[in-house]
Structure 1
Amino acid sequence: MAGSERTKMAAGEWYTCLDDELEALRVIARDAVFEHNSLPPGRRGNIGPALKSLLGAAGEGARIEAPFHCAYGFNIFLGDSVFLNAGCTILDTATVRIGKRTLLGPNVQIYCAEHHKEVAGRQAGLEIARPVEIGDNAWIGGSAIILGGVSIGEGAIVGAGSVVTRDVAANTTVVGNPARPAGRG
């Protein structure tokens, strides 16, 4: 017997997002995100209580500014002193690991889901989830987009507005769409 859609998603296989169990999990995440985004900053703290309990991990001093959006929450792992500025979106259909002391500028978007290339597959809700890993001490500039399956090395810098479609080596600065090492044409 084939596994559940959630099991397929976690295994990096094609799954349909048009699934009652996955929708129920997204509702839980939406409620946690709503609380986080609605609480006064002094009551919210670094991360709203429901969102913090939903996350896979939130290291000491990790902070998420409001507004924030995520798909599931439980696939997000934040290291110590990670900072996500206002407007960040993480579509965490796969694991998203963000290393210690990494900074994400405003409106950074991380998209783990890749939709099917065929129209019929998209209409059926077929997706495949690809993880994202960002190393320690990285800096992701405002409005950057990081696609699934990408690793960004320790100390790397992603320029504002860049679209990261492939791995970024440690201590490298990338810019543009698609993002490429700075200084190269």
Structure 2
Amino acid sequence: MNTARQEAWLPPDTTIGENCTIAPTVQFMSGEDRPIRIGNRTNIYRGTEITGPVTIGNGCLVNRDGYLRSNTTLGNNVMVGPFTRFVTDSHEIGPSTKRGGANKWPPITVGDGTWIGASVTILGGTSIGKGCIIAAGAVVVSDIPDNALAGGVPAKVIRILTD
């Protein structure tokens, strides 16, 4: 949907830049303490769910059925494949009577120009550098340096990319 026509369905504290295309089935869950900010020229396809606080830079693409949870930041020109999940929801380790203790949302940061393949899962507390490629189906559980091609479960650096 063109940003000029979207104001009626946007929740409070969601800001979408100019020349964006947002599918009408995208779900935004934001509030005063959990804003969603989307940069200019960004496209978000059908079925995506975004729970703030989330920041998506300029010129990004989030393909269909993306899942972006609180404390996720995508840099500029990031491409996200379909069915990709940015999962920040977690828990402290509790006692044996209930191991899922207090909630926590460690951040995820993705650097400018990165391409994330289809069905990737990225867990909270991780950073993916600038100019990376994350192979389809990977599970990112630790930081990935700039310009790395990473894949696997758990994701490991396969090689460093050059221009």
Question: Does TM, scored on the shorter chain, surpass 0.5?
Answer: yes
Q: How far does residue 97 in structure 1 lie from its aligned partner after superposition?
A: 0.9
What are the within-5 Å matches in structure 2 for residues 106-185 of structure 1?
106-118=82-94, 119-122=97-100, 126-182=102-158
Superposition CA RMSD, Å: 2.7
TM-score for both structures, normalised by structure 1: 0.66
Give the conservation status (yes or no) of the 8 Å contact 1:134–1:154. Answer: yes
1:32–1:50 contact (8 Å) kept in structure 2: no
Where does residue 79 of structure 1 map in the other structure? 57
What is the identity percentage for the equivalent residue pairs of Structure 1 and Structure 2? 26
Aligned length: 137
Specify the alignment match of 1:14 in structure 2.
Answer: none
Question: In structure 2, which of residues 53, 67, 70 is the aligned counterpart of residue 89 of structure 1?
Answer: 67
**Residue 102 of structure 1: CA displacement?**
0.5
Residue 47 (structure 2) aligned to one of 64, 67, 83: 67
Aligned pairs for 1:22-33 (under 5 A) are none
The 4+ residue runs of structure 1 with deviation greater than 6 A are none
Larger strand percent: 2
Q: Which has the higher helix share?
A: 1
Q: Which amino acid aligns with 1:127?
A: N
Higher RCO (C-alpha under 8 Å, 6+ residues apart): 1
Distance in 2 between the 1:53 and 1:127 partners?
Answer: 18
Establish whether residue 104 from structure 1 lines up as the match of residue 73 from structure 2: no
Q: Which residues of structure 2 form unaligned runs of 5+?
A: 1-8, 12-19
Q: Distance in 2 between matches of 1:155 and 1:176?
A: 18
Query: In structure 2, what residue type is equivalent to 1:87?
Result: D
